[in-house]
Structures are given as structure tokens and as C-alpha cells.
Chain A
Amino acid sequence: MLYYLIVCRSLTYAQRTASALERAGITARVIRSPKSISGEGCSHSVKISQRYLPDALRILQRAGLSPKRVYITAGNGSYQEVAL
């Protein structure tokens, strides 16, 4: 299944992001970021289903939590950054 990862700079930021999405009815799960996309070391990401990204971006913008980096899973297990 394809999904997006919203990469966050802190665990708390990821939790706020997930919480805002969940309140809006979008299933969101905080996970450790895969090493290949974690940026400056360890980070956390919010995982959402592929079909929710446009809604999620709108909700997060309204909440003042606009993501800086979003990745989508590729078929070979790697991740591709999404242009926002």
C-alpha cells in the first residue's frame, strides 16, 4: 500500500501533527523516520494513507503545522520526496 510520511523535526511536533489530523478524521500514526529520510539524524514522521494528502495539507496549514518535507513510498521500498 502506498502511503506518505510527513517528516517532523521533533516527536512533539509529530504528535501535534497527528493529533490535528486525527481530530479531522484522518488516520495518522507517528513512527520513527526511516534513516534514509530522517535528515539530521533521528526524527519522527506521521504516516498517512496516499488518498489523504491533499486534505491533510489543508488541515495542517490551517492549524499552523505545515510540513516542510513529505515523502511517498516507492515500489522498491525507497522513498521519494514530494514537491509541496
Chain B
Amino acid sequence: MIYLDSAATTLQKPPAVARATAGAINRLASPGRGGHRPAMEAADIAFACREEAAALLRVDDPGRVVFTFNATHGLNIAIKTLARPGARVVISGYEHNAVTRPLHAIPGLDLRVARAPLFDRAGALEAFRQALDQGAELAVCNHVSNVFGFIQPLEEIAALCRERGVPLIVDASQSAGVLPLDFEGLGAAFMAMPGHKGLYGPQGTGLLLCGTDPEPLLEGGTGSESIRQSMPDILPDRLEAGTHNIAGIAGLLEGLRFLRRRGVGEIAAHESRLIRQMGEGLGRVPGVEVFRAGDPSLQAGVLSFRLAGMDCEEAGETLGNRGFALRAGLHCAPLAHESGGTLETGTIRASVSAFNTRGEIEQFVQAVRALAVCG
């Protein structure tokens, strides 16, 4: 099988990730829940993971790197901290349901969508500027669209927010580990990301970077200040109630170490080359509509396409039966499909990782060609 669904989960991981995860089950207890060796070793692993993430994502204080179960968990904390009932909130036109559903759950929210055409960075920036100038209490923006790979002008949007004093929540689900990130430089209130995509950790891991004081989503034991019946006000304890997923964190640490060794810049260049190859190859197949940026620097390692006269789910299933792991449908992001003009049909999505090769992409293009021409 050729795996092209890394925007959902990177399946191919550095071998050290599985070794560390499995080893943790036999060797590590829970950080902060005892002074014995298995607990203190677990504490060392957790701290090493925070430090590694802080270095990669440019966070000054590793204590503000909070472990979550996934990006959705982190986004819920961030959104429920900052979006008060009735608040006006600006979002991009490419947000995932992990952002839009928590926002819709807040009563009376005045949600403004900064709409812009696909791969139009200037348009996206101008839409944000106009929406923010109408008054906003919060902005939420993903860095990379999970449907189209569109790299949004995050630095510029963050600057607009800083100038206006509007807190910004960044959904880095598709960019963490894939594009260079500078949390302190952005000045964002929060940045959420999964551990199991571009950070190459196991499922059930995630990180929330905190630039402002958060409200807990869960209350419970933290191994600290146990007499108090309110959550500690110090991070990361304030957000980490209950036992940690230490096996997952041990694996995530190895994923982060892999990124440091390989280099995020190199991975970004590799994925960009593969997506360019894929886009050009599919673009030459009759009956295939490819959503690709004219300027390759505007697209990360995610590409959507449609086949004329063929349902996207059926095409995805057929290609799956022929050995290609893809995702078809709406990808939990109807707003992005609305912006891209694909809400009615959905798309077939191919997404790459550091482990894909040019040969695999060539085989994939040939398989789509065969499907489009011969069925």
C-alpha cells in the first residue's frame, strides 16, 4: 500500500516512535504521581518532550507547552477560554469543524467568516483586515487548510491581530512539523496541534501552546497543590488534570527528535516537491480537476482533486482497493469546501509525509490516470 493520508495521521513514523511508546508501557508510571523511579523517569520523559517541542516551535517557557489528547482538545480549551457568549469572532474561510463546532456551541456568538478565494493570500489577508476593522474580540485561523493545503498568510494575520489587540488562536494541525513555526514571534494567544500528524507521534497526543492564561476544560488531580479544591493557576498543571498519556508522550518525544535531526525546512521542501509533482502529473490526466496553487510556495503537502463523472467516495474506494490510502469526502471541513467551491461534491485528498517518495507519487498518478481513462 502507498499511504497518502498523512493529513489525517502519519502512518509511517520514525522507528524510534514505536519503540519508545511500547517501552513506556513496561517502564514508565505517571509523572508527578510518586517519587519512585518509574514515576520520575516518566517525569523526565514528559519534561524532555516539552523542551523539545518548545525548541521546535519557539516557545520561551516549556511550562507553557501543554499536553492534550489531540488538536481538537487544545482548540476547545483555547476557544472556551476566549470566546464569551455574544462575542464577535473572526475566522478564516478554511476552518475545520474542530474550530467551527466549538464556536457554534457558544450561545449568541457573532461569527464572521473572512472569506477569500482559494490560494489567494492577499485576498485572505484583506478579508481578515476588513473583518477585524469591524470590531472583533477574537480571531481563529488555521495555518494550512486540511482540504487544499493552502498556506494562509499567518504571520501577516497575526500582525493585524497584534496591532488591534485581538487575541489569535492558531490551528496548526497541518503545519506543525511541516512548516517552520515561531510561537513567540506570532504573539498568538494559543496554538493547538495534534501529535500524530506532522510531529510523527502516536494518536492520542497533542500540544497546546499557551500565550495567555487559559481556563481548564477538565478539573481533577494534578499531583500538585492537592489541598486546594480549585485547579492550580500555574501551567501546565492548570490544564493537565488526570493521568497523562505517557506512552504517547514518549513516542511524541521521538517524533520531535526526528524532526530536529531531519529539519522541518528540509521536510517542507521535500513535501512541496512531491505535491508539485503530483499536481503536475494529475493536471495532465483528462477528466481530473486538480486544486493546486499557481505558486507552489502557497501549498503544503496536501492536494485535493475531483474526477469528472465519478463520485469522490467511489473514486477514493476504488483507488484504495488498488493500493492507495487516500481520503475522500468533506474532510470534516465544510467551510473550506464552501470556500473552494467543492461543498456539493467533496474531493479526493492526497497528502504526503517525509516518508513518501517520488516513485510513489508517480505510481499514484498512473493509478489515477488508469481510473480516469479506463475506469
Residues of A at the B interface (CB closer than 8 Å) are: 9-13, 15-16, 19, 30-32, 39-44
> In the complex the two chains form, what is the Cα distance from A6 to B69 in whole Å?
32
In the bound complex, residues from chain B placing their C-beta under 8 Å from that of A10 are 63, 222, 224, 232, 234-237
| Cβ 8 A contact of B32, one of A16, A39, A40, A44 | A44
Q: DSSP majority for the B interface?
A: loop
- Interface positions, chain B 129-153, Cβ under 8 Å from A, are none
Q: Which of B36-76 contact A (CB under 8 A)?
A: 40, 43-44, 46-47, 50-51, 61-63
With a cutoff of 8 Å between Cβ atoms, the chain A residues found around residue B43 in the complex are 11, 15, 30
Known: A9-B234, A12-B236, A12-B237. A40 touches B62 (CB 8 A): no
* Contact between A16 and B226, CB atoms less than 8 A apart: no
Per-position binary interface string of chain B over residues 203-227, scored 1 when its CB falls under 8 Å from any chain A CB and 0 otherwise: 0000000000000000000111111
B226 touches A40 (CB 8 A): yes
Q: How far is the CB of B69 from chain A (nearest CB, A)?
A: 18
- Which residues of the other chain, B, contact A39 by a CB distance below 8 angstroms? 225
Interface residue B34 (Cβ < 8 Å from any Cβ of A): yes
Q: Please report the C-alpha to C-alpha distance between residue A11 and residue B41 in the assembled complex, in whole angstroms.
A: 13
- Give the docked Cα–Cα distance between A31 and B228 (Å): 21
B228 touching A40 by the CB < 8 A rule?
Answer: yes
Q: How far is the CA of A47 from the CA of B225 in the complex (A)?
A: 19
What A residues does B225 contact at CB under 8 A? 9, 39-43
Q: Does B279 interact with chain A (Cβ within 8 Å)?
A: no
With a CB–CB cut-off of 8 A, which chain A residues contact B32? 11, 42, 44
Q: How far is the CB of A14 from chain B (nearest CB, A)?
A: 9
Does B31 touch A at the CB level, under 8 Å?
Answer: yes
Cβ–Cβ contact A12 & B47, under 8 A: yes
Residues on the B chain within 8 Å of A19, using CB: 47, 51
- Flag if A12 contacts B62 (CB, 8 Å): yes
Determine if A13 and B226 form an interchain contact, defined as CB atoms under 8 angstroms apart.
no
| Residues of chain B contacted by A16 (CB below 8 angstroms) | 61-63
Task: Check if B375 is an interface residue, CB within 8 A of chain A.
Answer: no
Tell me, rounded to whole Å, the shortest Cβ–Cβ distance linking A53 to chain B: 22
In contact, A43 and B224 (Cβ under 8 angstroms): yes
Which residues on A sit within 8 Å (CB–CB) of B309?
A: none
Residues of B within 8 A of A9 (CB): 224-225, 232, 234, 237
Find out whether the CB atom of A41 lies under 8 angstroms from the CB atom of B50: no
Question: Contact: B226 with A42, CB < 8 Å?
Answer: yes
Interface contact B234-A13, CB-CB below 8 Å? yes
Closest to A29 in B: B40
B35, B62, B226: the one within 8 Å of A41 (CB): B226
Contact partners of B35 in chain A: CB under 8 A:
31-32
Whole-angstrom distance from the CB of B157 to the nearest CB of chain A?
30
Q: For residue A18, give the distance in angstroms from its CB to the closest CB of chain B.
A: 9
Name the B residues within 8 Å of A32 (CB-CB): 34-35
Q: Which residue of B lies closest to A31 (CB)?
A: B35
Q: Which of chain B's residues have a CB closer than 8 A to the CB of A13?
A: 63, 234
Task: Tell me, in angstroms, the Cα distance from A62 to B300 when the chains sit together.
Answer: 40
Q: Mark B222-246, 1 if CB is under 8 A from A, else 0.
A: 1111111000101111000000000
User: What residues of chain A lie closer than 8 Å to B232, measured between beta carbons?
Assistant: 9-10
Q: Which residues of A contact B62 (CB under 8 A)?
A: 12, 16
Cα A43 to Cα B228 in complex, Å, equals 12
Please indicate which of the listed interface residues A11, A32, A42 has the most CB atoms of chain B within 10 Å of its own CB.
A11
Q: Which B residues are in CB contact (< 8 Å) with A40?
A: 225-228
Q: Which residues of B contact A43 (CB under 8 A)?
A: 224-225
User: Which residue on A lies nearest to B47, using beta carbons?
Assistant: A15
